[in-house]
């Protein structure tokens, strides 16, 4: 069966709506047709130097939200990256296959290091895409669901895979293909609707967080930035704020954007926001409740993650043995 791998960093106390609509919904669908492997990539999160307790907590709440969203541990593998030591081992090998210039062209590193300044950055942030390539290649992954922001990184994974196969022989690793998540699943910041909603970069009022208090979710939606014109129309260029709300409305109600626009003809933004707040809160409530159940049963959560790590490690070791053997290690 075709194998899919995807992962998220434990970089916040709650996932945001973009993580859910842009990634998790797709993960849950993909496990119907693929052999799915999903990971909470805590080693990646070290690049932002989190406190010990914060990192531990965020790793668990992130896994809990994957499960709450519908990742099924009886069907898919779910594990924490640091529990499978092969990730760090293969990352080292791949770093010796990666050109300095090649790594230096990664735009996400350029953006992130520009934000924090040279003194605030670290080598881990620079080699982050190499660790990501290891995450993917260890599992003979066929497809990787990626948003636009991760395309360049996946391209590097593909280049590295091809290079390994050239230097070490065909069949060393599988060259992964992107599975492009449709653009309609892209969610923007509620306050700055030309920027993507992001747990790392959005301010508290720009976010809709899965585990947030419903009152705050509703409040943020009602306070979302819209333009001074009052027409409810889908126009991502001209009216990014209203268009973002319509995208979210459509995703959660299952109704086409055109229908929604027709329904709100002649109405004000306030109407749309009040209704949307209710729709989003209703949708997220059971997800939040299920996540809280997982968070409040740590033994059950640890058991799922331990089983996932053990199965993942068995797969990863086969790949690593093959690569080490071909390298002469
Ligand atoms: P964040 O920016 O919230 O830290 P990540 O960069 O860790 O998110 O991305 C985790 C996953 O969520 C990726 O698959 C990414 O494509 C997806 N994602 C993140 N933000 C959005 C968004 N605003 N809209 C759609 N998908 C998103
Ligand atoms: Na991020």
CB 84 within 8 A of CB 311: no
pTM of the model: 0.95
| Among 127-136, 146-155, 224-233, the least confident range | 146-155
CB 202 within 8 A of CB 188: no
Q: How confident is the model at residue 268 (pLDDT cuts 50, 70, 90)?
A: very high
C-alpha to C-alpha distance for 36 and 75, rounded to whole angstroms: 8
What pLDDT score does 147 carry? Answer: 77
DSSP class of 13:
S
pLDDT in tens, 22-75: 999 999 999 999 999 999 999 999 998 899 999 999 999 999 999 999 999 999
**Locus of tokens 């993650």:** 305
Residues near ligand 2 ion, CB 5 Å cutoff:
200
Give CA angle at 171 (160, 137), nearest 5°. 45
* Measured distance between the N- and C-terminal CA atoms of the chain, rounded to whole angstroms: 31
What pLDDT score does 54 carry? Answer: 98
C-alpha to C-alpha distance for 171 and 225, rounded to whole angstroms: 51
What pLDDT score does 184 carry? Answer: 61
CA separation, residue 125 to residues 196, 219, 268 (Å): 21, 35, 45
Q: Which of 2, 317, 326 is nearest to 164 (CA)?
A: 326
ipTM (interface predicted TM): 0.95
56 ligand 1 Cβ < 6 A = no
Mean pLDDT over all residues of the chain?
Answer: 95
Q: What is the mean pLDDT of residues 206-217?
A: 97
Cα of 210 from ligand 1 centre, angstroms: 13
Please, what sign has the CA dihedral across residues 195, 196, 199, 203? Answer: positive
C-alpha to C-alpha distance for 129 and 109, rounded to whole angstroms: 9
How far out from the chain centre does Cα 104 lie? 23
Is 208 annotated to bind a ligand? Reply is no
Q: What is the mean pLDDT of residues 67-94?
A: 98
Cα of 321 from ligand 1 centre, angstroms: 33
7 ligand 1 Cβ < 6 A = no
The answer, yes or no, to whether residue 117 has pLDDT greater than 80, is: no
191: left (phi over 0), alpha (psi -120 to 50) or beta: alpha
50 ligand 1 Cβ < 6 A = no
Q: How confident is the model at residue 183 (pLDDT cuts 50, 70, 90)?
A: low
Q: What is the mean pLDDT of residues 92-100?
A: 97
Q: How confident is the model at residue 6 (pLDDT cuts 50, 70, 90)?
A: very high
pLDDT in tens, 284-300: 999 999 999 999 999 99
What pLDDT score does 298 carry? Answer: 95
Best mutation site among 5, 15, 22 for ligand 1, i.e. most ligand atoms within 8 A of its Cβ? 22
Measured from the alpha carbon of residue 41, the closest ligand is 1
The answer, yes or no, to whether residue 108 has pLDDT greater than 70, is: yes
Q: What is the mean pLDDT of residues 257-266?
A: 97
Measured from the alpha carbon of residue 185, the closest ligand is 1
Choice between 223 and 109, residue whose per-residue pLDDT is larger: 223
């Amino acid at each position: 069966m075709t194998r899919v791998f995807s992962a998220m960093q434990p970089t916040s106390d709650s996932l945001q709506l973009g993580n859910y609509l842009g990634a998790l919904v797709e993960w849950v669908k993909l496990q119907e047709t693929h052999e799915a492997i999903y990971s909470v990539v805590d080693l990646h999160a070290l690049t932002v130097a989190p406190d010990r307790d914060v990192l531990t907590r965020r790793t668990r709440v992130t896994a809990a939200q994957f499960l709450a969203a519908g990742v099924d541990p009886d069907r898919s593998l779910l594990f924490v990256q640091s529990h499978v030591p092969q990730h760090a081992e293969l990352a080292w090998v791949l770093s010796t296959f990666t050109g300095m210039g090649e790594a230096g062209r990664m735009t996400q590193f350029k953006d992130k290091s520009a934000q924090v300044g040279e003194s605030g950055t670290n080598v881990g942030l620079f080699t982050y895409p190499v660790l990501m390539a290891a995450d993917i290649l260890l599992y003979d992954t066929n497809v990787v669901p990626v948003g636009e922001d991760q395309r360049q990184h996946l391209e590097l994974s593909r280049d590295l895979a091809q290079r390994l196969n050239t230097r070490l022989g065909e069949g060393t690793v599988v060259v992964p293909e992107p599975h492009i998540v449709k653009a309609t699943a892209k969610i923007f910041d509620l306050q700055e609707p030309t920027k993507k909603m992001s747990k790392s970069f959005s301010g508290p009022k720009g976010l809709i967080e899965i585990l947030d208090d419903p009152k705050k979710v509703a409040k943020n939606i009602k306070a979302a930035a819209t333009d001074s014109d009052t027409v409810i129309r889908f126009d991502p260029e001209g009216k990014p704020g209203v268009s973002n709300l319509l995208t979210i409305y459509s995703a959660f109600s299952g109704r086409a954007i055109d229908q929604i626009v027709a329904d709100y003809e002649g109405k004000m933004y306030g109407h749309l926001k009040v209704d949307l707040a209710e729709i989003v809160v209703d949708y997220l409530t059971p997800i939040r409740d299920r996540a809280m159940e997982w968070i409040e049963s740590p033994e059950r959560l640890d058991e799922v993650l331990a089983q996932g790590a053990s199965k993942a490690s068995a797969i990863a070791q086969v790949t690593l043995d093959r690569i080490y053997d071909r390298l002469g290690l």
